[in-house]
Chains A and B, each alone.
Chain A
Amino acid sequence: MSEVTLTIDGKSVTVPKGTKVADAAKQVDIDIPVFCYHEKIGPLGCCRMCLVEVEKMPKLMTACTMDVAPDMVVRTTTEKVEKAQKGVLEFTLLNHPLDCPVCDKGGECPLQDNTFKYGPPDTRMEFHRANNVKAAPLSPVITIDRERCIACQRCTAYSERIEQGQGLVMLNRGFYNEVNTFNNEPYDTRYSGNVIDICPVGALTNTDFRFKARTWDLTNHDTLCAHCGVNCNITVGTRLNKLMRIEARPNDAVDDGWICDKGRWGHNFMESQNRITAARENSVGATQPTSFPNFPIDAPTEHAAEKVAEAFKKIVDEHGPDSVGLIGSAYATNEESYLYQKMFRLLGTNNIDHKTYQDTPGLPIDHYDIEQIESSNIVLLIASDPTEELPILDLRIKKAVTNSGTRLLCLNDQDTALDKYADQKVKYKVGSEASAVDALAEGLARELGDAIEFSAALDQTGISADEMKALVEAVRSSMKVCVVYNPAALSGDVGLRVKRLLQVISKIPTVECGAIPVAPATNAVGAMDMGLVPDFYPGGVSVTDTEQVKSLWGENAPTQAGLSALEMIAKAKSGELKALLVHRSNPAVDFPGGAQVVEALKNLDLLVVHDMLETETTQLAKIVLPSNGPGFDEGTTTNIGGRVQARRKSLDTNHIADWKLLSVMLKTLGDETDYPRAAKVLDEISKKVPGYQGINIRGVGKSGLNREKVSCEEISIGNANIDSSGKLRLRIANYLFAHDKILDASSKLAHHFKASMAFLNEKDAGSMKVGDGDAVRILGNGMEINAEVKVDNRCLAGGVVVPRISNEQGVNGLENLDGSPAWVSIEKI
């Protein structure tokens, strides 16, 4: 891109062509006041606050709408400009109530600030200010004060250009303009809260925060959201160790300045009645009311940790190392996961896992950062539904499609909200993803002259040969491809097949390529990197790579692949596994198998659960250890783009930190390392984990650092085969805004909870004689759940999509314990 040099107030500045004068001024620390302009939303030209003088132009110009031009001379402080600024501010304030003393925006209000700097000292308005509705709900979580609105249109432009949902609009005309929704319905998109951050006055406020504190009394903590794999940057405002509000903390590489509503309001769990506040033993079924986080220092927790370590050691001594196992967490920090795998490998086992699907660490091609989506000319989205799973990723993809001309290709078994933006949508039958992915890889390989046969059975997928050909062609002829896929939504070994596909793409000489694995969990990438898997040590070092394992982890480090999470459950059932430690995970509900999982866990000699909230699994534990979790904990997480960022604590607790608890267990097991701070764990990670060299807390700073490539093993895959038993193949759709332990019934976001639904194809609905709105029972794996039918062809015939919308619903129980394809039948009630 070419550069342009211009002069602003005598200072020369060089910026890329297409930059707005308002942004160019920022580069040389010249403040041009704005209201309506927001660099992420683009120019509107509504408020006229940014008027400047430009040489050779007779009129004052708006700096926010004007592109820089070579040798342009801009003046921002002339008499003419100052007069205009005063005039515009006078107009802006004309009908704005002067209720600053009770306004939540007070202290951080651009209208206050601009008036202070540029405004007239008083007003000549002598009429009654226009009356308008004060404080009306715009949604259950947003309050609108129409009297304060200065009609800058930032919020409506956000709805139109960023969300692209046209939910929030300007109604009426002229002086009667108002921000509103259709027919007064609530404005309740998944990312509605951002309008609060961008409103330059106190018109849109956070209902939860209103009148709770003055902004200047808040202590702000720069940290990360912990709800999904994007790891959006947030600022948590606290007062007297109480959480007051959460705001976006723009980081272009991650969130582009936006956060979703779960990030903003889904924080009730921090103060939930369900918090585990103390270690307890044999207390199956009991929950204790809490006063978290201000409970007394509890030595017993550390004591309990020691006891846990000793107990595991004892079982290992009696039954051998493979009689114990760890189910780690895809939500924990890198530090916690690292220490946990270290502990179990010290116990001599590789029975370590954190997931129910097959996957390996690393990628065979570049791991793209989220920002790369915008510079790719093709985004190939496989089995992913960002809108439901990682909403801020959805915004980024939409932005790329609308602003950068990126073409979106969707390969999925269900329809998603992003399909609308897709250049090409290829839908395969539920359960046939292996063949669909292989067919694409095969097609591309053939183009390369490689007659590889991956034995893809295209006919079983429901995809036509032409569709596949077009998809192959689109990828082959692109310049830069970013493959975005959700390993957690792929059954069996399809995650590995995608990696094989990536390998093929990487061989096309004309295509620059990378991928982003978008498993929805907060630290899914970190958990893989940290070696929370049975066959890899941290950094993608295979357990069978004896030499490297021994050099990094010592002579006694186990070098045989351990059990996967689902295998551990199976062995628990058969009695071969004696003891299991579960960290921040709820297998009883979230794993396939349902009742069988519960039976298996009950069968263990020792079940230790280390978690922050009571769950169905903690109820089964012999020992429960408290975990701090987001808000209280400190450490790093690695987002879907491979960016390592620091999660800092916002609230103080007397509770012992997870990493510290782990260091107690490690010490008990004979590990001599001293961990005085969490950052020390990170230092060890940077030494021991390939890919994490050079990552330290200072380097990570406020905006994170990309880790290096984590190595990826050669991929070996068997043949795909689909069996069919005449029933419907179940596809569980993941929803971030689900009614679970994090968003419980008291959540501010309860209005997002959905009813249990079964999405059917017309054909199946017809042959089963069920229709829209019918109540049905879905039966599978000896379990059943109730749902309402929606006939909408979200998936092809032969499948059924059932979203995971709550814990109670137990939809994962319909899947088999071994994780094999789940077939369900449907009965009308």
Chain B
Amino acid sequence: MPNVQDIQFKDAVARSAEAASTLPNRVPGTEGRDDVQGEKMILNMGPSHPSTHGVLRIVLELDGEIITKATPDIGYLHRGDEKIAENMTYTQFIPYTDRLDYLAPLANNVAYALAVEKLLGIDKQLPPRCQFIRVICCELARISAHLLGLGSFSMDVGALTVFLHTFTEREKIYNLCESLTGARFTTSYTRIGGLSRDLPPGWVEQCRKFLKEVVINIDETETLLTRNRIFVDRSQGVGVIPKDVAIDYGLTGPNLRGSGVEHDLRKTQPYLVYDQLQFDVPVGTAGDCYDRYLLRIEEMRQSVRILHQCLDKLPGGPVNVPDRKIVLPPKDRVLTRMEELIHHFINVTQGVNAPPGEIYSGHENPKGELGFYINSKGGGTPHRLKIRAPSFVNLSILPWLLPGHMISDIVAILGSFDFVMGECDR
């Protein structure tokens, strides 16, 4: 077995040096003469560049227009969510999960609730209706996040129409969210052990109507982009990530599958009722920006497929676990019964009493694997809550990936990565 110190891998510096040595714009006959090669230029991209989708800053070292070194600088949106979580009850932290990947708050709510429920040991005992509604939430969030991801990707590479086109569909998802949760953006829909409320009357029909419309929109979006010469030229063969590198850098979600790794936590570690649903996991072959785009299109179609099945199979019954020590009792009983009043009081003031222990719970969110590691010493607050954010890990490949590309390719690469800084910086 080789020693750890002996393992060689091509790091960013070596890759940059190689990229610099193969530059095409060298003047013939000047090899080895530094004086005519000129200086490298340092260019600061971000934190408020439109293609950085928030506040990502990348310090680029350029030789002409070719990147020789890229140093991402993150943390501009750091709010200390993990510190905050240690100082409040499990339920109080739910609104903070909205602000992680703020393009898919419903999926974050579900992932967080499932993590706490795993710690409590009730994640397998959730009522079926709750599980189906949570899957519906996750898949709506996926469609919403991918629509925005595609829209901004295509806008960054010059196709402005697509952004407006996908936004009309997102507006409908926001309307669905509003009637479901009461909020369009910061949903805070789940509770530990269930949901804040059941589906409102007529919501299923609204959702079916939306599903009929969104498939048309996805098809139209594809006609705008998939065979669009400019879009294909900007994205095909750009930002290629080989399979082994994608695994080595811990990429997840569409960015990993684009590189040809067939892995989806909904299939491999099925949670909720994903094992009862029929859907395919699309996988790319080339690992370039175009593959990642195609994947997201196909994932949206699969989400529509899942949503149809969920709406068909949606069972009746309660949406919360019957344990009053976990879920708040109904308000009318709180006001009239002693025992419910005590449960309500304990639940609100002390939180759900979790056992000591530690769990990790990973979920397939639109951006990749959103994981929560919870270390509990017992009681209503976590001792440590770590958020394994997919965008944070996905962005860590940039120092490897960017050198050798042109500046304009960064825009395509960042667009195809579809990251959210709220989640990256936490």
Question: Do A and B associate with each other?
Answer: no
